[in-house]
Chains A and B, each alone.
Chain A
Amino acid sequence: MPSSPSLRPPAVRIDALRWMRENLFSGPVNTALTLFALYLLWRFVPPVLDWLFFSATWQGSSRADCQPGGACWIFIGQRFGQFLYGFYPLEQRWRVDLTALSIVVLAAPLFFSRFPQRRRWAIGYFLLTPLLAWWLLYGAGILGLETVPTEQWGGLMLTLVIAAVGIAGALPLGILLALGRRSQLPAIRVVCITFIEFWRGVPLITVLFMSSVMLPLFLPEQMSIDKLVRALIAVILFEAAYLAEVVRGGLQAIPKGQYEAAHALGLSYWQSMGLVILPQALRLVIPGIVNTFIALFKDTSLVIIIGLADFFTAVHRATVDPEWLGFSTEGYVFAAFVYFLFCFGMSRYSIALEKRLARAQKR
């Protein structure tokens, strides 16, 4: 049987003109919007780019080298060390570098799913790196490392310390609070709900105020707490309440059958939570936890209020330094860029994770 000549599929041409007609000029309103957007871009993008890059001064060593008409990035270059380390002693800065390096390098195996004994490595990592970091940063005279008091900590390093300790402390507390809020025992439920709603209802700034002026009143006279530790306590309590709500969302998403099955197997409360419910619930809410961490990272900038010299404070102080007065825009733009890199990176990671988990859930 002679087959009829098969028709080829209609050619789909993806050309720029057609794309523009469909996406940018499909109607009078659309065209007007396009023109409006183009006007905005034309009005703002060239001057901003010019200020940021083309007319900017990149090389030089003092204020005198700055050219008018553009940003003066010499300012950032000159103060870069302070932005990173604060007033950490110059000759001791290698300790900060080494801490950062060891945290990153030791974490690397966790990101390879085929690494043997990954679980054991993870447990060891989360138990030991905090101790290692504390020893390297604080020293305390152990093994010949001299003490660097926390008043001298600062810059991006302090921001990362607050963020890391904050999340490490808030996550376990948040999980406990979430479990307590869903507990069958009324007294425990009431305590947890009160705790969570209290911290979620007040601004972090008042919590920091409270930790810096009220905490010393709460403790016995002879007991004095480091300013950094006070801020850390405030951050941990505050973020734990938010994390508790995130984790509760995960607990509620676990089907009742899972609870009943764990019960039927004769597991105790803690066994069924630890072995059956939490591993599933936490995996569900990883994106939520990352989002809380992003919020926590942005919130670290508030410690300026109680006089800790984190990254944001370091930048702000540099902009009011008489030697570099009038370069605050450069300072804030640089700080914004750094915060953006961290937060945007983490939010992308969270989205990727969400997609991967959704795939794993699908089967």
Chain B
Amino acid sequence: MTPGETLRGGPRRWFYDPKIRALAAQILTVLAIALFAGWIVHNTVHNLTMRGITSGFGFLGNSAGFGILQTLIDYRETDSFARVFVIGLLNTLLVAALGIVFATVLGFLVGIGRLAENALIRGLSALYVETFRNIPPLLQIFFWYFAVLRAMPSPRQSHELLGAFFLNIRGLYVPRPIPAEGFVPALLALGIALAAALTLRHWARRRQERTGEPFPTGRVALLLLIALPLAARLIFGAPFTWELPQLQGFNFRGGWVLLPELVALTLALSLYTAAFIAETVRAGIQSVPHGQIEAAIALRLTPRQRLRLIVLPQAMRVIIPPLTSQYLNLTKNSSLGAAIGYPDLVGLFAGTVLNQTGQAIETIAMTMAVYLLISLTISLMMNWYNRRMALVER
């Protein structure tokens, strides 16, 4: 029997050929999608002309004409919508960065706490994780914003900490560092200390490989990093002067003001994401086989060395990929700030600008593109990291 013939001997019908079928299925799919897309584009163009909306990105150059609650760069009402876009993006990145720092610290603490010897700490950590990850993040944001921060007293009755931090209905006031004459020397000293520490580590590693003699790199590096800036401070004076917030009349002057929206959003996102990070960390540490720890004990490594040389490197390999996806989730969840009026990319650009200009398609497409770009960049980096970190087996 030659190919192309069926068992009964007749020529095989062309539509039973798997190759033709595969091609047909793909062509049909692409055609269906193209038709659907064409239908949508047709409708959209029709609807836009009916409503008299000109599409395109020309509106970005127009003057915005509204004020913004929090701007990290200079902004006036006459500035363009393009600048508003940048401000929204910066605000999103600010809250994401703050949230990532706090969530990581808290998440690692709680995650390690879940594996602690101490039963009480273990229980409290489990309670934390179960509580915070089972409550919707939006509800947590609303709780901190409406029930806690909106219920704060007026500036005159502020909650005060150390005479430098003040919390009231207008937000959290913190001291502002102002660079003084010691700033540049301190920066230089820190740079030199860092370079010295890196060189030291390199040298210590080479020496240990050659002679097997260990060197207390960590302690010496820490000493360098503390001593050099301290010396710079003693010689050239303080690197910063602190501008304290001061009550003047009905409000505070000076210092940095963190808006209640920013505080509530950061707090809620950090607490929520920390619960997930804690689970990631726990799973990562538990993934290190117990034999590894026993082997380390057999080699007489100290508990610190055991953690630093055996457990952490293997645990981090498991922890880092899900940790990055938690960071991505936090960044995407920061868009919930729109619901309490935090001027992030979604609230400001896909909200206010959309309402002002009516350019729904353009604003939402730009907003989505930003998140997509962040997501795709991070997943590409993650793939690269995974390839680099993958266990090289024989």
Contacts and interface: CB of A to CB of B under 8 A. Distances in A.
B43 interface: yes
Interface stretch (B74-82, B142-150, B153-161, B228-236): B142-150
A333 B143 CA distance: 8
B119 A213 contact: no
Contacts of A301: 136, 138-139
A213 B43 contact: no
A200 interface: yes
- Give the interface SS of chain A, mostly helix, strand, loop or mixed: helix
B134 A347 contact: yes
A187 interface: yes
Interface residues of B, number: 57
B22 interface: yes
Given A33-B120, A37-B118, A217-B48, A205 B134 contact: no
Contact of A37 (B117, B121, B332): B121
B29 A206 contact: no
A304 B338 CA distance: 11
Contact residue range for chain A? Answer: 35 or more
Contact of B147 (A23, A40, A312, A332): A332
Contacts of B43: 217-221
A332 B143 CA distance: 6
A34 B120 contact: yes
Given A203-B346, A217-B44, A219-B43, A187 B136 contact: no
A214 B118 CA distance: 54
A24 B47 contact: no
A344 to B, nearest CB: 5
Interface stretch (B63-71, B292-300, B370-378): B370-378
A187 to B, nearest CB: 4
Nearest first, the 3 closest Cβ-Cβ pairs linking A and B are A201-B375, A187-B26, A343-B134
25 contacts: A23-B118, A24-B120, A37-B120, A38-B120, A41-B124, A185-B25, A191-B30, A198-B372, A202-B372, A205-B335, A206-B367, A210-B368, A214-B364, A217-B48, A218-B40, A218-B43, A294-B134, A304-B339, A305-B338, A312-B139, A332-B146, A332-B147, A336-B139, A336-B143, A339-B136
Interface of B: 22, 25-27, 29-30, 33, 40, 43-44, 46-48, 50, 116-121, 124, 130-131, 133-140, 142-143, 146-147, 150-151, 332-333, 335-336, 338-339, 346, 350-351, 354, 360-361, 364, 367-368, 371-372, 374-376
Given A298-B134, A302-B138, A316-B142, 9 more contacts: A34-B120, A34-B121, A187-B26, A188-B29, A203-B333, A209-B351, A312-B142, A340-B134, A343-B133
Interface of A: 23-24, 26, 30, 33-34, 37-38, 40-41, 184-188, 191, 197-198, 200-206, 209-210, 213-214, 216-221, 294, 298-299, 301-302, 304-305, 312, 316, 319-320, 326, 328-329, 331-333, 335-336, 339-340, 343-344, 347
